[in-house]
Structure 1
Amino acid sequence: MSEQPDVVELLKQQHRQIRELLDEVGDSKDADRADAFHRLVRLLAVHETAEEEVVHPYARRHIDGGDQVVGERIEEEERAKVVLSELASLDTGAPEFHDRFIALRQDVLAHADAEERMEFAQLRHTTDQRGLETLARAVKAAEALAPTRPHPGTDTAAKNLAAGPVAAVIDRTRDAVRKVMGTS
């Protein structure tokens, strides 16, 4: 096995990071919560964009029931993008943020579990090691250029490729300005 993770290992590692950030947001207060939430939003946006551009199109073609499995995951991802966008406009200390975040957390955890059981397990079964490693490299390339905030409505590879570059430049510029200004 190579030193680089294959796509299933890579995405499962990211799911673990997402779970940790979900816990951190839930357990933190004030500026720490805002910082953890900002990191969570960024990771989710980049992760989901890469899945939509690379993993889901491949899975549609190569796993049993690919259209249905991927279609359900994309619906879940789109709902999460909408909620993340709404949460990003709220103060992380507000009661409504907490309530909506708890619901989002449950949905994200259920989504990650479904992906791992229904999509990733079949990818591992139907794709050889070299193919899984190639997909991991493609995911990393997509992540390097992905927007860092959720953009509802960009739920397919074609939509991401059409809107993603402009959104990514805007998002990454905002990230740089916030970093310089010391805000999250």
Structure 2
Amino acid sequence: MDADLSARLVSLLRAAGPDGLRQPDRLSCGAASVVVARLLLADPDSAAGVADWRSEVLTTHRSLTGLRDHRGATQLPWPRALGTPPWAVARALGALTGRSHRTRFVLDRDAAYRRLLAAPMPAALYVGNRWLPRHVVLVVAVDPERVTCYEPSRGVATVVPRAAFDDARLRLAGWDVPWFTVTG
């Protein structure tokens, strides 16, 4: 399934054109990742894109940070100015895949990589600097040598070598340190 999701991501991005699936503001990377996951997991004929990308991502961001989730269940509200909380991304990916997703703090990068390697896709990865998580990417494929992900700040598919993960040199939207994995 990883190769399939990776190929679907490339097709989706190609169909959207330049900047077509770039996050609409600096706070919506988590929501953009969830919307792309939704598109990737949809029926291939319906995954050509979103009619109004910006509106879809911002609406999803409000849902992910609000008092109620997409199903109407109560969730811990979160200030949108702080981005998207990992537990909300986990809940949204779980709803899309039918598998419970779990957020885990990256204490050991090797263990975190192995967790991604063993996880069904898609998954999410929170990255930042050494003090704080600052950005979310959607992981669509992992093998022993690389991670392939949707990078919302540029709206592209990106490949991160395993060595860059191990050395905290991810360079995803300018952020290097893996902070959280969100896996099913």
Aligning the two structures, in what range does the TM-score lie when normalised by the shorter sequence?
A: under 0.3
For CA contacts below 8 A with separation 6 or more, give which structure has more relative contact order: 1
Richer in strand (by share): 2
Task: Output the TM-score relative to the length of structure 2.
Answer: 0.24
Task: Output the TM-score relative to the length of structure 1.
Answer: 0.24
Richer in helix (by share): 1
